Structure 1
């Protein structure tokens, strides 16, 4: 849902019950003047039914809709999900009050890879920011997801996607320039050592559950280029130890907010085997500088709680617990009554 002038525009969504599900592609508008809903009937071919899509108002006054997720039943008890990557504009027709039209667009540039569960925010210069998500690989009996922590921007004025690339800390860039002459002198030695180039750096984070289970998050970082030369030195000549870059681990359904050009990313979830891990960390990135992520709040493993029961088991256990609670109350009241009689006696 997005705010457009004095209207709130709602598109798509889904409803799921214990027996069936349905996805929508309809459009509704809520008036902030009359506090009433109305159904819109845009002309032209629009998006297929879906939920979880990107919605954002463009500088030109249109509403951009990208991606989303839907599923359909292919045979009894077997569903197949679809991760959409198409993009549309919902425009208000000039001169026709209440008339809207769909237009399918095909932006240029570096588009996001196929995914769902991504998060969206409006970046400076009215660009749309997309972060993270998951690409599910479905088989009839299994579902495995690849999670992301990358950034993409959509420029509606140029109708172009581009990937968000971090530049690295400014101090490190200056030191690289200062050491460029020294790196040139050692070019021949570096060329000889290409065959023995370092392997990518693997960063391992561990989340320990209360039951003692250890969930490992692995991130593979590209090895530093040989042309970068030796580790940078401080002004006093001492070597500065290299450190792995800070960044949010891959996740889906994170919460985003942009304030004064700073992007905040909180929480989300990822899967480790058959378990879902809910995150509670908080990161910040300056979208003007695009240098590096900063950790504001690290995730506390003690807050993790594993819920392994199914809904039916939980319902039955809660029902048994309620009945058991009544029995316990009866026993307790009987015991307390006996104690009271003994005291009075």
Structure 2
């Protein structure tokens, strides 16, 4: 037992002060979190306060789901203003250029689909939005049936006044489904039509898609079911003139890339596609599957398609295990574009797996360009003010996503006729911009080292969340958020460049690149972005922020296991009293009292946990969800138990109950138990208690679950 009044030496005193400062900072964060939730507006229509408290989050979720009720009541297309001003947060959506034959406005973008996850619920979207780049204005297009169901990680291309949407996935809390359907949206009639052509590709998402002449070329992708996951390396070709899938099956003996999804694709020359990177799982000698982020590059020669023959593969860049700042190799979730006969990529993430499945992630917000002819990658830097061409930022901005090669084709007379107005201006700048790229590539080639632009967890935390100066207890701004001095309401900070991200929607049109949304992970917290940016790839003088987004107001409703800190965006309610560390101005402390209080607190927590265990029978793993386990995963793991319970509850129909009906009733029983225990498990999570009453090895560790979640994000990535 320590003696009262004992003097503390200098080193110990400094350590105590650091601990005190840490407690003050954590307490200030909690206060800031409460102020944020209490002061935010409660109207989802107010675009300044879209996402904040739990009530607001429910309103946002309602807004996401409200489209079905609106569209079910219409019998003709309706174009209306977007009530929120800008699209709500989303990732794995598609952004595509489109114009009809008669429209004078050649600068319109179409946003379709995507998904949003708040830690509890995953919402998949089916809304179609249109953006006027001249007016910086969004509108929503409501269409009657038929129309494509909600999806993400799909593809969308433009050809002759129509948008074509293929594949994708629907991933919600209680269902997971891959699509193989093909839809056409006519920009003249504003109506959807499903194209039911024979012999379509198998269901998939995360594939690479490019427009070449009047063909839509589909490469790779993945398919996931309850018991199997498949990656593809096949090639499928859809003739947009005859609206038929061509028979271009390749021999199994042909040398071709390994199966993968989420690869980067771009047009090269007049008849080639470059395919780089991607994600998959490979079987090892011990029968376990290991994740693989591909680093090789291939050329797909398209000219044989004109003779009704399969396109041919050529290895272009070999795989490498090295990860450098001069290359995006090793990254997943990048956005890729075709520009000036080169592949341009943005962002991405590199995951480093450590012991016990712990994953450390580094996110990026840089641009990289592949000089396809030289077979090398180089950073594409933003120039300092005055280095680029003079003039203000153009309002004619556009961007597109992984499958944007159709903007760069230029060898189909019909396609060129539709885009003659926009390309005539671009072609005037081709020589200068290409020369400019050459000079920059040469300069970067001479630089042996480049500054690594990655954001690790420490940098993400310090930039994404407000923090506290311990001495003054003053809350200061992060790089995305500051508090209004009058209202204490979080406000967005105008950034000079986009945040790091994966799975963003991007497009390039002419010289203009556009980017919207995506995902950024900060430890266990996942932030779905909704900001929008534009960049003139010819000038590259500055990023222009078209919409600063609402990431500074998002509340993460899921569990957080990465550390013990509470950041302002976690949305975790903590009404506990803010403890003062036991020290005084003279540097004295009562070691015994401190120890007694800690023992008392631990005893109280043990008593609370014991009571919860006994009351809710948490030791039964068949009846208790794992920490962070979704309803669908809970039922999948314990379906035999709940189906048996359901059969016993339904009296007199045991022999007549079909397997489908039995599963439905079993799911209802599991759902009731899941909803009953949700607040209990939330409380245990707040106390820092993991899975209760589960034997070692019966459930995945938190880090293993986090790893699985990251792998799913990679393979679904729409680039």
Band the TM-score falls in, shorter-chain normalisation: 0.5 to 0.7
Is the aligned partner of 1:134 residue 2:349?
yes
Deviations 1:255-313 (A, max 9, x none): 11223422222111121111211111122222111122222211224652434253326
User: Which residues of structure 1 form unaligned runs of 5+?
Assistant: 175-201, 209-213, 220-243, 325-345
Partner of 2:527: 277
Measured in 2, the distance between the counterparts of 1:103 and 1:267 equals: 34
3-state SS in 2 of match to 1:205 = helix
- Give the direction of change, closer, same or farther, for the CA distance of 1:217–1:5 in structure 2 (3 Å limit): farther
Measured in 1, the distance between the counterparts of 2:260 and 2:478 equals: 31
- Give the direction of change, closer, same or farther, for the CA distance of 1:206–1:96 in structure 2 (3 Å limit): closer
Is the aligned partner of 1:99 residue 2:304?
no
Measured in 2, the distance between the counterparts of 1:37 and 1:262 equals: 32
- Residue 88 of structure 1 deviates from its aligned partner by 0.6
Deviations 1:167-189 (A, max 9, x none): 21118999xxxxxxxxxxxxxxx
Cα pair 2:506 2:513 within 8 Å, conserved? yes
Bigger Cα displacement from structure 2, 113-122 vs 310-319: 310-319
Candidates 206, 226, 231, aligned match of 2:464: 206
Partner of 2:416: none
Is the aligned partner of 1:40 residue 2:244?
no
- Residue 65 of structure 1 deviates from its aligned partner by 0.7
- Residue 130 of structure 1 deviates from its aligned partner by 0.4
Cα pair 1:42 1:102 within 8 Å, conserved? no
Partner of 2:224: 16
Higher strand share: 1
Measured in 2, the distance between the counterparts of 1:245 and 1:301 equals: 12
Partner of 2:262: 52
The CA RMSD measured in Å over matched residues stands at 3.8
User: Which residues of structure 2 form unaligned runs of 5+?
Assistant: 1-208, 319-325, 391-458, 467-474, 481-493, 559-627, 636-666, 677-719
- Give the direction of change, closer, same or farther, for the CA distance of 1:218–1:40 in structure 2 (3 Å limit): farther
- Give the direction of change, closer, same or farther, for the CA distance of 1:162–1:70 in structure 2 (3 Å limit): same
- Give the direction of change, closer, same or farther, for the CA distance of 1:171–1:117 in structure 2 (3 Å limit): closer
Measured in 2, the distance between the counterparts of 1:299 and 1:207 equals: 15
The TM-score normalised by the length of structure 1 is 0.65
Candidates 83, 89, 93, aligned match of 2:299: 89
1:141-152 alignment to 2 at 5 Å?
141-152=357-368
Measured in 2, the distance between the counterparts of 1:20 and 1:296 equals: 42
- Residue 151 of structure 1 deviates from its aligned partner by 0.6
3-state SS in 1 of match to 2:531 = strand
Cα pair 1:59 1:156 within 8 Å, conserved? no
- Residue 207 of structure 1 deviates from its aligned partner by 4.5
3-state SS in 1 of match to 2:464 = strand
3-state SS in 1 of match to 2:348 = strand
Cα pair 1:80 1:138 within 8 Å, conserved? no
Cα pair 2:280 2:291 within 8 Å, conserved? yes
Higher relative contact order (CA 8 A, sep 6+): 2
Higher helix share: 2
The TM-score normalised by the length of structure 2 is 0.33
- Give the direction of change, closer, same or farther, for the CA distance of 1:171–1:41 in structure 2 (3 Å limit): closer
Measured in 2, the distance between the counterparts of 1:77 and 1:273 equals: 30
Partner of 1:312: 631
Partner of 1:168: 384
Partner of 2:100: none
- Give the direction of change, closer, same or farther, for the CA distance of 1:67–1:5 in structure 2 (3 Å limit): same
